Amino acid sequence: MSTAAEVAQLDHRPDAPTQTTEFRLSRPLIVGPDTPEAPFPILLSGPVQKGFGRGGKELGCPTANLPDESITPISTVAKTGVYYGYAQVLPPTEGAEQFGPDDFKVQPMVMSLGWNPFYKNKQLTAEIHIMHEFKTDFYGFEMKSVVLGYIRPELDYTSREALIEDIEVDKKVALNSLQRPEYEKYSKDAHFE
């Protein structure tokens, strides 16, 4: 039996359009203006929490989930969809030796803000994929991110393969979009340590 809060959250989950091949083929490889515009940049931070475990296992795109209270700065000013920017996992006070030399550097990221309609989630989530191969998990570590732009709306999919294809395009779009000088400078933003 669902709690009242779960039912209320489910009632607010909007329907998402279904992704089509035409949409995928028409996607630009760079998005947004040459300089971030309001509401960007959006600063997020919080401890990484366990999500549904689907990103790495099912989609080949491991994600770091932020707690609900950490996503308020973006969920109150932006629509659901896929975003790009930079993220950094902060080193722990103990146990850092199990990580590689680049694991705590600022890295490009893509972020899904939404309900994940393919999986019929019952609550809004922010899932960040840092475009770096980590040697180990970092659950509970503090993560900071600067969200700089919007890539596309949240979509539903007819297959997991179609979702994976779009995720791969999202990564390319993010990397291409972040190469512009006014975006690159945020990799050294004071928000990061």
**Does the residue 112 lie in any domain?**
yes
pTM metric for this prediction: 0.84
Looking up residue 139, the CATH number of its domain turns out to be: 2.40.30.30
Question: Does 135 reside within a domain?
Answer: yes
What is the domain count for the chain? 1
pLDDT tens string, the chain, 193 residues long: the values are: 333 333 334 345 455 556 556 666 678 999 999 999 999 999 999 999 876 655 555 566 888 888 888 988 998 898 989 999 999 999 887 777 888 889 999 999 999 998 865 555 567 888 999 999 988 888 889 999 999 999 999 888 788 888 888 899 999 999 999 999 999 999 999 999 7
For residue 128, being part of any structural domain is answered with: yes
Judge whether 38 lies within some domain: yes
- Tell me the catalytic residues: 127
Question: Could you tell me if residue 193 is inside a domain?
Answer: no
Contact 134/103 with Cβ under 8 angstroms?
Answer: yes
Q: Is residue 15 part of a domain?
A: yes
Residue 113's alpha-carbon distances to 74, 75, 158, in angstroms, are: 9, 8, 20
Asked, for residue 183, whether it belongs to a domain, the answer is: yes
CB-based contacts of 10: which residues, under 8 Å, 6+ apart?
2, 122
Domain that holds residue 122: 4-188
